[in-house]
Amino acid sequence: MREANRLLDAGLLRQERTGNTRLLAACMTTPVYRPLTDLLLVTYGPLPVLSQLLARVPGIKAAYIYGSWAARYHQEPGGPPNDVDVLVIGTADRDELYDVAEEATRTLGREVNIRMVTPAAWKANGKDPFLASVRERPRVELDLARETAAQ
């Protein structure tokens, strides 16, 4: 409670009272909102969490976060993402990817959806509308090589 009050006093949080309940939310109008958000994203958010978890799974050639999370990361306007969508390129075991998605969901506190495609499907510039959308829209590559080297 003391820490929350300090953040309120600093203008980093805003509050709303409903009866005896105090609801706290980030104050998105402060000049430090974006830098603090960026710091959290690279130190604790989906990028490091998913990079670390997926680096342990054999058969992954590359992995990307796409969808609303990637769009916000690239500063496209919109509300906070409800989930994190991940595209894995490779031949990993689907059960292992399911386990990674569950662990990431617990760690991040938001749903993580992992979809896998083969390297051949990713390389082909065919007419798959899903892959075309992922290629055209913002995406963020997960750094699996760095995580593997760190282990």
Q: Does residue 40 sit in the same domain as residue 83?
A: yes
Q: Does residue 24 sit in the same domain as residue 97?
A: no
Q: Does residue 14 sit in the same domain as residue 44?
A: no
Q: Does residue 101 sit in the same domain as residue 78?
A: yes
Q: Does residue 26 sit in the same domain as residue 39?
A: no
Domain that holds residue 130: 33-150
In tens digits, the chain (151 residues) has pLDDT values of 888 889 899 888 889 999 989 888 888 888 888 788 777 765 678 999 999 999 999 999 999 999 999 999 898 998 888 999 999 999 999 999 999 999 999 999 899 999 999 999 999 877 799 999 999 999 999 999 865 445 5
Q: Which long-range contacts (CB under 8 A, 24 or more apart) does 115-122 make?
A: 115/85, 115/86, 115/87, 115/88, 116/87, 116/88, 116/89, 116/90, 116/92, 117/87, 117/88, 117/89, 118/89, 118/90, 118/91, 119/61, 119/89, 119/90, 119/91, 122/62, 122/89
When divided into structural domains, the chain yields a total of 2
Q: Read off the pLDDT of residues 91-130 as tens digits, 9 standing for 90 and up.
A: 999 999 999 999 999 999 899 999 999 999 999 877 799 9
Q: Does residue 8 sit in the same domain as residue 67?
A: no
